[in-house]
Structure 1
Amino acid sequence: MSFRLSQRSRARLTGVHPDLVAVVEAAIRRTEVDFMVTEGLRDPARQAALVKAGASRTLNSRHLTGHAVDVAALVEGQVRWDWPLYGRIAEAFKAAGRDLSIPLTWGGDWKRLRDGPHFELDRRAYP
């Protein structure tokens, strides 16, 4: 099954690093679980609001530089937050990154504050 990014998801990729956009576009074509992009580039005010709300722990997010995206799983057109769905989406992102030789970090692999919807370009290759 092949999915496509919606216009809304594409709009949310505005300002995101082109390499990460390429990974998102490749991942949507190979994923078994449909997804939408919920956030890409953020301004400092949005990041501060997320920290204040407890949804983020840093004012130095990779979203501020366009090096990160968040996605939401879609099942029958409805957003779902079930953890196993994000592992399946991550498989598609990681495979796309390998195919394109673009190193990624998945928030679901973090030891603290695991973040299944979050994908970012690896800091070692994209400081």
Structure 2
Amino acid sequence: MLFRQLRRFIVFLLVIATFGLIFYQYIHFIEEPDLTEVPPPTALHPVVADKKDQLISQAADKGINVVITQDFRSIEEQDALYEKGRTAEGNIVTHAKGGESYHNFGLAIDFALMSVDGQVIWDMKYDGNGNSKEDWMEVVEIAKDLGFEWGGDWKQFKDYPHLQMDFGLSIRELQRGKRPPETE
């Protein structure tokens, strides 16, 4: 008798959980904006642009010249970059197809350093300001203080020049039309 009641109770809980999950997915689906109603970004997000300028300025205060090598990237540009090392010449530089990168939503920048002789470099050991600290990591520290996430911290594909601000939004949410506020 007790076993039968316990079994009925477990079945009841499973039915309730199933309906709850279906209801949650239905509500979540309804709330997502339609991409046809939300225009895609065409430039760097204003907050990211401001933080980029602060990054360059604060690094310059430490004697480090930062060069932004990429910021907003169109879906077509992303697709072309994705093809490098696959169907186009060169090494693989990204695992993100068009629409799968924070660059495509104006929320990411890539940087390099300018050496004292004016060369753009990606040397993470370079100490151009002569303070016995790697300039690259000094820039990363400034960027993190400004709210950027660094691609060098990623577990899988390390993207050392990459900095992004996702504002708590996933790529899927951005693809569905959600956008961060224009101001902080």
Unaligned runs of 5+ in 1: 1-13, 98-102
Aligned residues: 108
Q: Which residue of 2 aligns with 1:29?
A: 57
Aligned pairs for 1:1-127 (under 5 A) are 15-31=43-59, 32=62, 33-53=64-84, 54-59=92-97, 60-76=100-116, 77-84=118-125, 85-95=135-145, 97=146, 103-124=147-168, 126=180
The CA deviation at 1:64 is 0.6
* 3-state secondary structure, aligned to 1:36: strand
CA deviation profile, 1:25-81 (whole Å, cap 9, x unmatched)? 111121132111111111111111111112110110011110111111111121111
Question: Could you say what the CA RMSD is over the residues aligned between the two structures, in angstroms?
Answer: 2.0
User: What letter is aligned with 2:109?
Assistant: V
- The TM-score with structure 2 as length reference comes to 0.54
User: What letter is aligned with 1:45?
Assistant: E
CA distance in 1: counterparts of 2:102 and 2:77, whole angstroms: 13
The CA deviation at 1:88 is 1.8
Regions of 4+ moved over 6 Å: none
- 2:111 touches 2:161 (CA, 8 Å); kept in 1? yes
User: What letter is aligned with 2:103?
Assistant: H
- 1:28 touches 1:92 (CA, 8 Å); kept in 2? no
The CA deviation at 1:123 is 4.6
Aligned sequence identity (%): 31
- 1:35 touches 1:74 (CA, 8 Å); kept in 2? yes
Unaligned runs of 5+ in 2: 1-41, 85-91, 126-134, 170-179
- The TM-score with structure 1 as length reference comes to 0.76
The CA deviation at 1:104 is 2.1
Q: Which has the larger radius of gyration?
A: 2
User: What letter is aligned with 2:113?
Assistant: A
CA distance in 2: counterparts of 1:117 and 1:74, whole angstroms: 13
* 3-state secondary structure, aligned to 1:57: coil
Which structure carries more strand by proportion?
A: 1
